[in-house]
Amino acid sequence: MTLLPFADLADFTRENEPMAQHTSFRVGGPVAYFIEPRTWDEFRAVYPRSQDAGLPIRVLGRGSNILVTDGPHPWVVVSTRRLHEIRREGNLISAGAGVSLPKLVAMAESCGLGGLEPLAGIPGSVGGAVAMNAGGRHGCVADRFVGGMVVAPGHMPRWAEHGEMEFDYRYSIVPKTHLLLLSATFELDLAAPRGLQAQRRTILAEKRATQPMKDRSAGCVFKNPPNLSAGKLIDQAGLKGTHVRGAAVSHKHANFIVNTGNATAADVLQLIDIVVQRVRDKFQVTLELELEIWDDQERK
Ligand code: EPU
């Protein structure tokens, strides 16, 4: 492999980069090229070069909701991590796609801007959070997102409104289009930082009590089926603690699979299949993945 397709982006391109270093699961094989552009222009430049080289592109936020298979993979992974600007204008706050969501929540709070507290404790990047409409019981990204800058391959960056995202439960159109989200703008309410801090702490405490936040995982593995709870179903199927080598169903919350040390993606996938099968056998409900699987088959 040679840096040739990305020779002019060499300062921030690495070859044969293990994805286990870039995912919260600490799982995932090497990818051909791993690129961390610093500007929108550098981002745009990656697309034509990858296309010319015939290499598929994947956009990575902070890697907290994906399972990357064991590889090696002939992909170009472009990370948003260095798009990390945050700007405030009145009660609007705009963040680059690579800003960490916890950092944005804390920043809004310290500016006396409320509305993002329901996102407290959700790991990941702003771009990833918008793409999957991340959220929890108290609210989701779509509640405060007003629009964002996006770019399609070969085009100039443009503003996209909330409506264009077609948000739904853990859903937006971003993953299935070739739109790349560069930044997101949220409309917030003026509020006292103290009160916001108290709300954020309550939500965080709730999560710490019920979720394995310190373990290596990719958050909830399955979506909640309509009017049901995936965690409860998996728990009631007696699956807590079930494991395939280093991948185990969490004892704390059954909708989490944790990497207890040396799990491979194959272990996690095998465990996912066991969980789906057992829940289907017991409750006649087919669980759907919430976490995104990155493999060579473009599985959805
Ligand atoms: N439950 C069990 N056993 C378990 C886990 C849960 O019986 O092992 C029961 C709980 O007691 C409760 C019900 O299932 O009665 C729902 O559980 P919980 O309140 O923990 O919420 P959840 O529906 O499992 C959702 C989101 C989480 C988010 C929390 C809190 C989904 C798939 N999950 O979980 O999001 O943090 O609400 O707001 O929508 C994520 O997206 O990665 C994620 C973890």
228: Cα within 13 Å, side-chain hemisphere: 19
Q: Residue 297: pLDDT above 90?
A: no
Residues ≥6 apart with Cβ < 8 Å to 197: 109
How far apart (Å, rounded) are the C-alpha atoms in residues 282 and 237? 7
In the chain, pLDDT over 90 holds for what percent of residues?
85
Average pLDDT of the residues of the chain: 94
Q: Which residues of 7-31 are buried (b: 16+ CB within 10 A; e: fewer)?
A: eebeeebbeebbbbebbbbbbbbbb
pLDDT band at 3 (very low <50, low <70, confident <90, very high): low
User: Ligand 1: which residues within 6 Å by Cβ?
Assistant: 136-137, 207, 210, 219-220, 223-224, 229-232, 235, 253-255, 290
**pLDDT tens per residue across span 49-83:** 888 889 999 999 999 999 999 989 999 999 999 99
Q: Specify the DSSP element, H or E, that contains 139.
A: strand 139-140
Check if the beta carbon of residue 274 is closer than 8 Å to that of residue 287: no
Q: CA 219 from chain center: how many Å? A: 9
Percentages of the chain per state (helix, strand, coil), in multiples of 5: 35, 30, 40
Q: Position of tokens 């603690």?
A: 241
Please say whether the dihedral angle defined by the alpha carbons of residues 123, 124, 126 and 132, taken in this order, is positive or negative: negative
Compute the chain's Rg from CA coordinates.
19
From 255, 256, 279, give the residue whose CB has the most ligand 1 atoms within 8 Å, as the site to mutate: 255
Reply yes or no on whether 111 is catalytic: no
> Which band of pLDDT confidence, cut at 50, 70 and 90, is reported for residue 298?
low
Pick from 37-41, 76-80, 138-142, 242-246: least confident: 37-41
Q: Does pLDDT of 2 surpass 60?
A: no
How far, in Å, is the centroid of ligand 1 from the Cα of 278?
Answer: 19
Please report the pLDDT score of residue 299 as a whole number: 43
For 252, the token pair is 């704390």
